[in-house]
Structure 1
């Protein structure tokens, strides 16, 4: 019974906490994250989804990806479907790659960089097609993608071991 409680309650609580922390970090550090033309976007929810994808079964993580994608879309974006597609996609990609890669901190860090690059590039192209952004590709790479990857790499280093321990404890029981 304890394992069922942990997998059905603790995982969503951890994801929800990091989802809210994303917005809180942006609000508190908006002057630092939005420095002139440079924009850094914390993606703690993506970090937790990637890390948990290494340890929690794919079917459960895909459900969490869809649910939290819908919540993320409705709370932060206002266009339903963007993150509903992206979150399960990165979970699926991570799950497929974990079969051929050893899940150590360096590999998981590389998966974070790859998945965040895919997400940010998809978002850039999506918003460009809709006309919400007019920046060119070089500006996107230098002013948005690079700073966002750097910020999230630092956040990954900070949250990796606590999240890994929580996830392993959930998985063990």
Structure 2
């Protein structure tokens, strides 16, 4: 297969797999993730968007982020718009910081924590405005944001090196 064709289709295909894994993990472990006092939300799509933003061109990543934001909204949320806006913002912020920060595990991890906090907090305020949640902000921080960050940082630690190798291969294509 032509390397240009591979570089065009592989990033969205990999992101699509992570998009599906988000839902699969949430469904398989729903008792564990949502059944206790804490809410843990797997965000594999955000992990991959952050990783791709460090290694792939911004314009291509913005298009991919918009498309997957639309897909995420229509498939998981039902309200179009929030992820369509959040995913490109994540890509844009991450890409801007890559100009001054060299991608290493700590920098990428910190950027992921910042981006995920932005996503979760924005979602909280969005759903508060729509009156879809009655959770106050302190409860959100303790019961949702903290556990979600912890779960996703653990996932990030396990996925960083394989994803880094994959991103470096995609970058060279």
Question: Taking structure 1 as the reference length, what is the TM-score of the superposition?
Answer: 0.97
Query: 1:163 deviation in Å?
Result: 1.2
Distance 1:120 1:40 in 2: 11
Deviating runs (4+, > 4 A) in structure 1? none
Whether the 8 Å CA contact 1:54–1:103 is kept in 2: the answer is yes
1:18 aligned partner: 18
List aligned pairs for 1:31-50, cutoff 5 A: 31-50=31-50
Query: 1:7 deviation in Å?
Result: 1.7
Gaps (5+ residues) in structure 2? Answer: none
List aligned pairs for 1:93-172, cutoff 5 A: 93-172=93-172
How many residue pairs end up in the alignment?
A: 173
Distance 1:96 1:113 in 2: 16
User: What is the CA RMSD across the aligned residues, in angstroms?
Assistant: 1.0
Distance 2:103 2:2 in 1: 26
Whether the 8 Å CA contact 1:3–1:170 is kept in 2: the answer is no
**Larger displacement relative to structure 2 (34-43 or 45-54):** 34-43
Distance 2:165 2:58 in 1: 19
Distance 1:17 1:9 in 2: 12
Query: 1:152 deviation in Å?
Result: 0.4
**Larger displacement relative to structure 2 (113-122 or 31-40):** 31-40
1:2 aligned partner: 2
Task: Write the deviation string for residues 130-149 of structure 1: whole angstroms up to 9, x where unpaired.
Answer: 00001111100000000000
1:53 aligned partner: 53
Query: 1:166 deviation in Å?
Result: 1.2
Distance 1:53 1:17 in 2: 17
Question: Taking structure 2 as the reference length, what is the TM-score of the superposition?
Answer: 0.97
Distance 2:25 2:4 in 1: 31
